[in-house]
Structure 1
Amino acid sequence: MSNKTASVGSKFPEFKKKAVVAAALSADAPGKEFADITNGIHTESNQWMVMFWWPKDFTFVCPTEIAAFNNVYGEFADRDTVLIGASTDSEFVHLAWRRENSDLRDLKFPMLADTSKSLAEELGILQAEEKIAYRATFIVDPQGIIRWVNVNDLSVGRNVEEVLRVLDALQTDELCPCNWKKGEETLTAQMQEA
């Protein structure tokens, strides 16, 4: 990873990038495959954001993760959370991959193209040799503050249910014990007498 690192408690970098948008393959949206996406997509609407990164399009582990996020897209929407997928591939490669891979055709979230690699570098998730992004996931609150970061090695897929679990815990604004799940009791901090 690069020397720069965006970590918990820091402001998520501002960005403006091209993306293949959710309705890209809809019959009623020809010519509307691409849109500019900025960090305002969530801060202006006072929503949370989950941005997850994968190394390369047209690979093997990546589509399993992207499809898994898409399968629970409604879970993120129910949590007032904007979901964005990203890699350092171009928007044109994203679009070709969506058209080619049946698991990606009906994505409900944008695929961000960080072709300059500037956002991945600023986040500290750019792999040194190939200059591709690690499998990183960021949970960002409505004020644009990073509240959780998870980075996997290139060969290991992430656990989407864990992303939802952590998002739920962060949204309680309470103390959540190990393995806590939505609906379970949170902890209460009590002062102990000496």
Structure 2
Amino acid sequence: MSLIGKKVEEFKAKGYQNGDFIEITNESMKGKWAAVVFYPADFTFVCPTELEDLANLYEEFKKEGCEVYSVSTDTEFVHKAWHDTSERIKKVQYPMIADPTGKLSRAFEVMIEEEGLALRGSFIIDPEGVIQAYEVHANGIGREASELLRKLQAAKFVREHGEVCPAKWKPGKESLKPSIDLVGKL
């Protein structure tokens, strides 16, 4: 069953951002685009490379009116300790959500029950709290933030213009107007 078109379930979670412990809810995410990125655990191998990659493009996400949220089943205290000790994670300015009960990971269908960890799931959520795109990877496969940014830009374009985006579409490139005239011509 697909999560596309599903509203983000009600939640309240603790997190860490810029030296403070914060609270994040499904309601606080509304009104802007959101990129929610699940990863298995702090102090691991692939995870810091992904979170650093997101940190390097964070300003680009913000220019698109999008907040980035990283989520693992660690606590907010572990997020702070990782932020304080890792050169890569020190670059992270976006909220790092704590999901020690796995409730959020289960809601997004990325929880590995027998391990208590999340799969690598990336979700693009519109300002109404509806999932517009997602991708889930096995934990050995790292993701690229620029591709998540491109998918965000495509989701925004489709929503704003009612046109569709072909493979490798980027802002400023040609989109398609769905019509019977295109059938069999591409």
TM-score between the two structures when normalised by the length of structure 1:
0.88
Checking the alignment, whether the CA contact within 8 Å between 2:39 and 2:119 is kept in structure 1 is yes
Report how far residue 6 of structure 1 moved: 6.5
C-alpha change, 1:143 and 1:135, in structure 2 (3 Å) is same
1:160 CA drift (Å): 1.1
Residue 19 in 1 paired to residue 15 in 2? yes
| Secondary structure class of the residue paired with 1:139 | strand
Partner residue of 1:152 out of 137, 143, 146:
137
Q: Which residue of 155, 170, 174 corresponds with 1:181? A: 170
Q: Which structure 1 residue ranges, 4+ long, deviate > 3 Å from structure 2?
A: none
Cα 1:183–1:65 change in 2 (3 A) is same
Higher strand share: 2
Q: Corresponding residue for 1:35?
A: 22
Cα separation, 2, equivalents of 1:189 and 1:116: 44
The structure carrying a bigger helix percent of its residues is 2
Q: Number of residues paired by the alignment?
A: 178
- Extract unaligned runs of 5+ from structure 2: none
Preserved CA contact (<8 Å) 2:16 2:97: yes
Pairwise mapping of residues 27-176 of structure 1 onto structure 2 (< 5 A)? 33-43=20-30, 46-173=31-158, 174-176=163-165
Instruction: Tell whether the 8 Å contact from 1:176 to 1:186 is kept in structure 2 after alignment.
Output: yes
Name the residue aligned to 1:8.
Answer: 4
- Structure 2 equivalent of residue 27 of structure 1: none
The alpha-carbon deviation at position 179 of structure 1 amounts to 1.3
Structure 1 residue ranges without an equivalent (≥5): 25-32
Q: Distance in 2 between matches of 1:92 and 1:58?
A: 13
% identical equivalent positions:
37
1:49 deviation in Å? 0.5
**Which residue number corresponds to residue 190 of structure 1?**
179
Given the two structures, how large is their TM-score scaled by the length of structure 2? Answer: 0.91
For the 8 Å contact 1:50–1:138, the answer to whether it is kept is yes
Cα distance in 2 for residues equivalent to 1:67 and 1:152? 18
Contact kept in structure 2, 1:41 and 1:82, CA below 8 Å: no
- SS of the equivalent of 2:134 reads strand
